[in-house]
Structure 1
Amino acid sequence: MTNTDSIAPAHVRRRGTYAKTEATRQAILDAALEVFSGSGYRSGSLREIAVRVGMSEAGLLHHFRNKSALLEAVLAAKDDRARSIVPSDSEDGAAVLRGLITLAEYNMSIPGVVELFATLSAEATAPDHPAHAYFVRRYAFTRTTIERALTNLERDGRLRHGMTPRRAAITIIALMDGLQIQWLLDRSVLDMADELRALFMTFADIDWDAEPGGSGAEEDDPAEDTPS
């Protein structure tokens, strides 16, 4: 049988599921998110992801050279969203903490993102896991961001007495992870935004009612504060 694909013009060979369109890329990332969050990275297969998108495994590999590259793309998409929500370089410490709350609200609207992070962070403690270096960097970045926010609040005299920014940042991350796991186990147990506000207020003096994104009248409709 003649391999017509190998001799066809480039514009013909790229048709169908091989065409690198943004819509196809997003469909693959969405399918990978579902598979990796449900089965874990090691158990999730490229074939399962390809089937969900309605393409062959070869077609999937045309878009992402291997499973590790696909995982990196899924995590990069997650980070792009986080950077658009949390002003990590802001001098306003309260603005950074409010951004973390808004990001949590966004993540809660897409359970697969939370499940993926929880599943991978447990798997990735193994140094040979493709996401190990990512999570080392991610936790370091999150600690630095929260520590900088608390340092700015300390500068303004708003950090609780006896608190140090670095120790508080480490504790906050641990508690945020714990809240996330509780939410995954039973989503009726807690409201993540309310719990994070209460948590942050144990470390810093923040009047949420008086600041944008707080719990005042402007927050009657949370969707208004959630990026699309």
Structure 2
Amino acid sequence: MTDQISPTEPAKPAKPTKGQRTRARVLDAAAELFSGSGFHAVSLRDIAARAGMTHAGLLHHFPGKEALLIEVLGRRDREDAHVIFRLDPDTEPRDFLAQLVGIAHRNMNTPGLVGLHAKISAEAADPEHPAHRYFVERYRLLRDRLTRAFAALAARTDPPGDYDPALTAQMLLAQMDGLQTQWLLEPDAVDMRAAMVAFFARLGLDFSDVPAFPNLHSGAPPEPPHHP
């Protein structure tokens, strides 16, 4: 019989094991190097040296560079999924979309990860790139969930929202990616959060009070907002 956890008494996060701490150190080193030089220019020996370990020690935790890249890319997605992907875009579209503003705000404090996604997603346009399938599936999933959220919102307004949910989803993703590139080039001139708030305001959504999405490595899991 498994222990039951009371919903009013959340379980304390378990202290990371030595192996988990080592893996996290390797992922941090890989993210830094991949974001600076791209996938192909970085070797496993480079990553091992940056993480302060031997090449053999790194291979004990990760079977190869491709597996390490996918793990690096997926780590932040899994953190964000704690909130975003437990929200149903069909029944909670405002809450689902609001989280994107919080993530844009959070990303303004994580230039390394923003740079990683910008650089590797561009490289991954090549079908032979190891991250090609990852990004294809990621965008496919995001387009689907955003389309459902915008369709649900349009159906609830009177008169119904005058926009194409699928095209609006594509436009939002394009804006998010374009803002990241502009912000990386000139961070003092581009406010990703403000641009996202302005985008949603044109759809009649006021997300100006949405807080920054926290880093789950350093804080408690966030709760989704609830808009009336």
Does the TM-score normalized on the shorter chain lie above 0.5? yes
Q: Report the structure number with the largest CA radius of gyration.
A: 1
CA contact (8 A) 1:158 1:205 kept: no
Tell me if 1:140 matches 2:143. no
Match of 2:185 in 1: 185
The equivalent position to 2:43 in structure 1, one of 42, 45, 48, is: 45
**Within-5 A mapping of 1:99-178:** 99-157=99-157, 161-178=161-178
Match of 1:70 in 2: 68
The equivalent position to 1:28 in structure 2, one of 26, 29, 34, is: 26
Q: 1:24 and 1:199, CA in 2 relative to 1: closer, same or farther beyond 3 A?
A: same
Which residue identity is paired with 2:166?
A: R
Cα distance in 2, alignment partners of residues 53 and 178 from structure 1? 31
CA contact (8 A) 2:114 2:180 kept: yes
Q: 1:159 and 1:105, CA in 2 relative to 1: closer, same or farther beyond 3 A?
A: farther
Number of aligned residue pairs: 198
Q: Secondary structure at the match of 2:205?
A: coil
Cα distance in 1, alignment partners of residues 83 and 193 from structure 2? 14
Q: CA deviation at 1:197?
A: 0.8
Match of 1:207 in 2: 206
Cα distance in 2, alignment partners of residues 153 and 70 from structure 1? 39
Cα distance in 2, alignment partners of residues 167 and 67 from structure 1? 36
Q: CA deviation at 1:35?
A: 0.6
Cα distance in 2, alignment partners of residues 108 and 44 from structure 1? 25
Which residue identity is paired with 1:89?
A: D
Which residue identity is paired with 1:29?
A: L
CA contact (8 A) 1:38 1:116 kept: yes
Q: CA deviation at 1:132?
A: 0.2
The equivalent position to 2:84 in structure 1, one of 86, 89, 100, is: 86
Match of 2:214 in 1: 226
Which residue identity is paired with 1:170?
A: Q
Greater helix proportion: 1
**Which stretches in structure 2 are left out of the alignment for 5+ residues?**
1-16, 220-228
**Which stretches in structure 1 are left out of the alignment for 5+ residues?**
1-18, 209-213
Which residue identity is paired with 2:200?
A: F
Q: 1:28 and 1:159, CA in 2 relative to 1: closer, same or farther beyond 3 A?
A: farther
CA contact (8 A) 2:155 2:161 kept: no
Cα distance in 2, alignment partners of residues 200 and 122 from structure 1? 26
Cα distance in 2, alignment partners of residues 67 and 78 from structure 1? 18
Cα distance in 1, alignment partners of residues 54 and 151 from structure 2? 51
Cα distance in 1, alignment partners of residues 200 and 160 from structure 2? 10
| Identical pairs, percent | 42
CA contact (8 A) 1:93 1:150 kept: yes
1:136-174 residue CA offsets vs partner (Å, 9 max, x unmatched): 001111111211110111111179853110011111111
Q: Secondary structure at the match of 1:35?
A: helix
Q: CA deviation at 1:201?
A: 2.0
Q: Which runs of 4+ in 1 moved over 3 A?
A: 158-162
Cα distance in 1, alignment partners of residues 164 and 44 from structure 2? 46
Cα distance in 1, alignment partners of residues 160 and 204 from structure 2? 7
Q: RMSD in angstroms over aligned alpha carbons?
A: 2.0
Cα distance in 1, alignment partners of residues 149 and 177 from structure 2? 19
Which residue identity is paired with 2:205?
A: I
